[in-house]
A and B are shown apart, each in its own frame.
Chain A
Amino acid sequence: GAGVSQSPSNKVTEKGKDVELRCDPISGHTALYWYRQSLGQGLEFLIYFQGNSAPDKSGLPSDRFSAERTGGSVSTLTIQRTQQEDSAVYLCASSTGQTLSSGANVLTFGAGSRLTVL
């Protein structure tokens, strides 16, 4: 598509429920990233997918968080047994995955999914 698409744009859930957030990256982008934006905390890296390589899960805050990327395209971030501290905007980004000779790898972000856990 023309941009990175995320759904839902807003999700309100009760504590203890599971949620799934979806990201549809730009067509042809092999790299996909999930970030979390919390009030006053900036952007926190969660997980990164690049092609068929094993994902970098080093940013996932707990084992309640997981993500998949099917067919090298759409990704789903799943949060199990949600807690109130999970409330945040979850941002997805994609890129060509190619680091230019100058060292720049430009990410294109979606508008985010705002999660509120009551």
Chain B
Amino acid sequence: GNSVTQMEGPVTLSEEAFLTINCTYTATGYPSLFWYVQYPGEGLQLLLKATKADDKGSNKGFEATYRKETTSFHLEKGSVQVSDSAVYFCALSDRKGYSTLTFGKGTMLLVSP
């Protein structure tokens, strides 16, 4: 079956540091890949997505590249801000059928001033 593995948190960084959150997946076929973010007290929001190999999703300074050869979709940001503190979820949807999302367990990011 489908599965998503993320690095465990929390990830603690100082403001303006470089961020990487690793994500690897197992899926049949060619899934679409997503990063969702959950800010404290809020629901999950789509951060970015990529739907085929070598696609790069980007939003709010975050980027992730769909790497089919390594089955990875690592999230990166060059300079984090305190407001980026949240829980980040990597997810995939199987292109077959109705595309329910399979999520990783989430990685908490804490950014200090």
Q: How far is the CB of B90 from chain A (nearest CB, A)?
A: 10
Interface size class of B (residues with CB under 8 A): 20 to 34
Number of residues on chain A facing chain B (CB within 8 A): 28
Are B106 and A31 closer than 8 Å at their CB atoms?
Answer: no
Are A111 and B105 closer than 8 Å at their CB atoms?
Answer: no
Q: Which residues of A contact B30 (CB under 8 A)?
A: 103
- Contact partner of A56 among B44, B100, B101, B104, CB < 8 A? B100
> Is B12 positioned at the interface, with any CB of A under 8 Å from its CB?
no
Are B100 and A33 closer than 8 Å at their CB atoms?
Answer: yes
Interface residues of A in 75-118 (CB under 8 A from B): 91, 93, 97, 99-100, 102-112
The 10 closest A-B pairs by CB, nearest first: A42-B105, A105-B99, A43-B103, A102-B51, A109-B44, A103-B95, A109-B43, A111-B43, A103-B32, A103-B51
